[in-house]
Structure 1
Amino acid sequence: MKPSALPEDPQQAVQQVKVRSRPWAASLILVGGVILLVLGMAVAIAIGAKDIALPDVWDAVFHFNPDLTEHQIIRELRMPRVIGAAIVGAAFAVAGAIMQGMTRNPLADTGLLGLNAGAGFALALCFAFFPGMSFLGLMLYSFLGAGAGVGIVYGIGSRSKGGLTPIRLVLAGAAVSALFTALSEGVALYFKIGQDLAFWYAGGVAGTQWVQIQIILPAVVIALLAAFALARSITLLSLGDDIATGLGQRTGTVRVFGVIIVLVLAGTAVSIVGSVGFVGLIIPHLTRKLVGVDYRWIIPCSAVLGSLLIVFADLAARTINPPQETPIGALVALIGVPFFLYLAVKERRSL
């Protein structure tokens, strides 16, 4: 959303937000999206190296029989994988929506602004120096790496003459991401952990286990609830700092809480799925086109659409070239790269 898109008077700006919002479209997306997500998850559980009938999926979920091989496959392999994909999709999409709203930057995304690369470097250090670390420890280091990445990006971008413009922010993010990626690959070569790191870079939820779901689910749910609670404040920030301050918002406090939420969501998602970018770029843009500019609708709709994207991307990853799996990151990038180039050209024309 461009800075000139709304009037400077705070009350008029809020009225414009109401006019541009489409609650009926948001309600349709939430209801229809949840139904489609449930059906998509059922299909994703049923399809794989061994196809399983949907009635057997129903029985395995609600009438589990440990003596049946199909039930074991569903419960121990496919259900945590599909649930993990839904959680990761929601986390990436909401993190991207918050970043775009707080920075008023249409190019903001966890993969473009150094979060994913920073988390990857932290995980490379863990693989090298603490090979037996628990998943909880990996997740915490992933948070720290993501925080270091975004902190360096914002530090470099804000020191540029003319302020932190969208293009400068993306350029700083590309530079920091390249640095962290090079450092990660150097660590991988020296400590001979290239295979572990290559699996992470490819991106995927194939190895997701119930223990990981039990750890990440509370963190993601709490972060999503906090994002919903912060939605109105993010809407006001997206109108501009002057308007938000005029309406009584403490912009600094809102940004601090927003960054914490983004770090939790992005750090958790990266620790599960690896280096998957563009989800937080594509989904918030699509959602704004559909529901308007009110983040009280954008955030929940982004969560649903993000889950749909990753669940179906994972399903495609398993079915395009069986029995081998195509990396999810590559599939999402096929959509994300052209979309990013389109936004970059559009943003350049608006400068």
Structure 2
Amino acid sequence: SADGGVIDCVQLYKQPALRHPLLKNHVIQMKPSSYPHGIKTPNHSHHNSSTSNPQLIQNWHKNGGFCPPGTIPITRSKLNVPRKTARVPTSFADHRGGGNHLDGKETDPTGHEFVQASIFGGNYYGATANINVWSPKVEGDNEFSTAQLWVYAGPEVNVIEFGWMVTKKQNQPSIFTSWTDLETGNWWLTFQGEEMGYFPPVIFTSLAERSNRVSWGGEVVNSKSLEDGGHTATEMGSGRYAGEGFSQACYFQNAAYLTSDGVATDPERIETFTSREPCYNIDFGPRVASPSPGAHFYFGGPGASPSCTF
């Protein structure tokens, strides 16, 4: 591809995911048997990027490259690109019903910092949101910045994460929706209305049937906290604080969960968590008009600044 990536076209039933021992005889579901209700995608969820209308076109498509029917594209892993591994905010993991905001002001042992809006305690069968897309500055080679959704279940922590991520060397912003198929129980993942694939329930323990926590927000890696106790200049969201509002700060629109019958529903009570203010923050500002249900909030920040002390 134009950015130096190598894409392999792999036969559908030879994809690495099917090497999982619990998927030995798995029959692939090609299309969902059910779809969520009440979700509409606005046409203004993308700012400050190369196109005003993001499409399902990647760099390797621009030179005429497409995989033939019966195969799937898989990008070869790059050893020098930071890996996004699942993390749960330490302070927030056990926080339930203790008020509507928690400011962690603590150092995660791996340097991860979060801004999240979350719902707890119910039965959630999917999550959806329109995620504003930016290209935040990433300072360190081992750092990244994301805007994403988390779908959790416990007590054995299972988590599905999806959204867009930026590293110092690689930028691949995306917009996703996930839900549970009402017939098969598969956790489906879509991008702008196109089905990307699914997570079979058999590979989960706690997430096999439903979620009991959903979060929306951002995550960065602050590698300086591990090196010299300082703070990275890696930006979250657009790099602007939440209070700067529309067209300046990154936002989530129509953040909703899905009921057991697949209906997108407004979160009744949202609790927010910020690892470190005022490096990054969150604000439920004026709502952007939308025909779909769900919460709306702004989040982000510049990272290292005179007001961001470690």
Normalised by the size of structure 2, how large is the TM-score?
Answer: 0.26
Q: Which one has a larger percent helix, Structure 1 or Structure 2?
A: 1
Higher RCO, 1 vs 2 (CA within 8 Å, ≥6 residues apart)? 1
Of the two, which has the highest radius of gyration? 1
Q: Which one has a larger percent strand, Structure 1 or Structure 2?
A: 2
